[in-house]
Amino acid sequence: MQKVPCPTLYEMFETRKAKDLEGNEHKFDQAVHVEYAEALYGFMLKEKPEVVVEVGIACGTTSLAILAGMETNGTGKLVSIDPGQSTYWHNCGVAAVKRAGLEARHTVIEDYNYNALPKVLADMKPVDFVYIDGWHTFDHALLDWFYADKMLKEGGVVAFNDSHFRAVFRVIKFVLSHRHYSEIDVGLPKRYDSRIPVAGPLIKRLSGRSNADRYFRKLDSWEGPSHFYARF
């Protein structure tokens, strides 16, 4: 993995604490694994996306990886959507970006995905990269992807965090059966561990439900006819 040139990011991983805008410390949880952040940074260096949208900020680990990549590349802007950034997350993600000195490239929309994404689509199309790490129910994850697909340019990439969650995994199955996307390798090893005994490593391996982030390139803008349906 490519180490991210962002001390703020590794400080949070090491201390397991996140700070708000006033410097108060909060529990650092629900963050991506450090190797996922490093893979994300490596992806930014390789692909050099200039316009990026992410759904979900939390404590800001993915925002830092994306913005650090933009800073290294010398170009880019990130729009992050999170309805609970100032409430549930105490603005820890915003504070982390500010402490890292990366806020000039960052815009935060504190609203629900179903309100924010149509506005982003209207204002920002086309987009180079979308990172989805929002609410992990099937309907919300599918909504996130639906708008990602609409705003992504051909050749753009969408990535799913927590791809082993059953709902997210089914959304990925829908993507691959109803549109033309191809999975790309960002260097993350496939892992199939599980906290749920009935969905253990063997079952997940057989189904392809890896824990790792998964990235998919949009090959074209094909959509099926109005009656199109494929099993997923």
Residue 97 lies in a domain: yes
Q: 168-199 pLDDT, tens per residue? A: 999 999 999 999 999 999 999 877 765 554 45
- DSSP collapsed to 3 states, 107-157: EEECCCHHHHHHHHHHHHCCEEEEEECCCCCHHHHHHHHHHHHHHEEEEEE
Residue 223 lies in a domain: no
Q: Dihedrals φ, ψ of 123, to 5°?
A: -95, -30
What pLDDT is attached to residue 59? 96
Stated pTM of the model: 0.93
What pLDDT is attached to residue 124? 84
Angle between helices 34-47 and 61-73 (to 10 degrees): 30
Helix (H) or strand (E) holding 18: strand 17-19
Statement: residue 207 has pLDDT above 80: no
Statement: residue 25 has pLDDT above 90: yes
Domains of the chain: total: 1
Residue 207 lies in a domain: yes
Statement: residue 203 has pLDDT above 60: no
Residue 177 lies in a domain: yes
Q: 66-102 pLDDT, tens per residue? A: 999 999 999 999 999 999 999 999 999 999 999 999 9
Residue 230 lies in a domain: no
In this prediction, residues 24-42 reach a mean pLDDT of 92
**Do residues 148 and 215 make contact, with C-beta atoms less than 8 angstroms apart?**
no
Residue 226 lies in a domain: no
Alpha-carbon distances, residue 225 vs 73, 146, 149, 171, 173 (angstroms): 40, 16, 17, 20, 19
Q: Dihedrals φ, ψ of 128, to 5°?
A: -90, -30
Statement: residue 201 has pLDDT above 70: no
CATH code of the domain in which 90 resides: 3.40.50.150
Q: How confident is the model at residue 50 (pLDDT cuts 50, 70, 90)?
A: very high
Residue 164 lies in a domain: yes
Task: Pick the closest to residue 131 from 79, 183, 86 (CA basis).
Answer: 79
Q: Domain limits at 75?
A: 7-218
Q: How confident is the model at residue 204 (pLDDT cuts 50, 70, 90)?
A: low
End-to-end CA distance of the chain: 32
Q: 135-171 pLDDT, tens per residue? A: 999 999 999 999 999 999 999 999 999 999 999 999 9
Q: How confident is the model at residue 1 (pLDDT cuts 50, 70, 90)?
A: confident
